[in-house]
Amino acid sequence: MSENGGSLILALHRAVHATTRALAHRLPGLDLTTPELNVLARLASGRTTSVRDLAAGTATKPSTLTSALDRLQGRGWVRRELDPADRRSFLVSLTSDGQPVAESVRAAMDDIERACLAQAGEASRDGFLAVIRCLTEVP
């Protein structure tokens, strides 16, 4: 496999590209972009969230989410309702049509992660998450 570049950050980038392709391969015909996948994965638990929370949780810009949510809503998979407690804000949730789609996305992610941890060893998980966490919080 030639050379790895010796950089955690370069390795990180390669992994994102690879998992994006692996997800597309496991979800044929769904034709979902990365932000759409991330939104569905986060909603799969049945949670209702604001756009702001989705932006923070999926590391995408609110303006990117607007169009991603537009597409998901256009497919009938996601719903936006005004939050009665703060009418500037939306409550984003899955529709009954969207629920199984989101679950299949989540299942594909879990499948990849399970296969990966089985190979790398469960013990690797902690080290992975520790490095990910500090890379995510680096100023």
4 binds DNA (CB under 7 A): no
What is the C-alpha separation between 139 and 134, in angstroms, rounded?
A: 10
Determine the interface stretch with DNA among 4-12, 20-28, 40-48, 102-110 (rule: CB under 7 A): 20-28
87 binds DNA (CB under 7 A): yes
What is the C-alpha separation between 102 and 74, in angstroms, rounded?
A: 15
The two tokens of residue 47 are: 């949670």
How far does Cα 82 stand from its chain's mean position?
23
Phi, psi of 75 (to 5 degrees): -85, -5
Q: In angstroms, what is the minimal distance from the CB of 80 to DNA?
A: 6
Q: Check: CB of residue 44 under 8 Å from CB of residue 86.
A: no
Phi-psi region of 6 (alpha: psi -120 to 50; beta: other; left: phi over 0): left
Determine the interface stretch with DNA among 31-39, 104-112, 113-121, 128-136 (rule: CB under 7 A): 31-39
Shorter beta-carbon distance to DNA: residue 76 or 127: 76
The two tokens of residue 107 are: 């299942």
Residues that bind a copy of itself in the complex, under the rule CB under 8 A: 2-5, 7-19, 22-23, 25, 34, 38, 41-42, 53, 56-60, 106, 109-110, 112-113, 115-117, 119-121, 123-139
47 binds DNA (CB under 7 A): no
66 binds DNA (CB under 7 A): yes
| Residues at the site binding DNA, with contacts judged by CB under 7 A | 17, 20-21, 24, 33-36, 50-52, 55, 60-71, 80, 83, 86-90
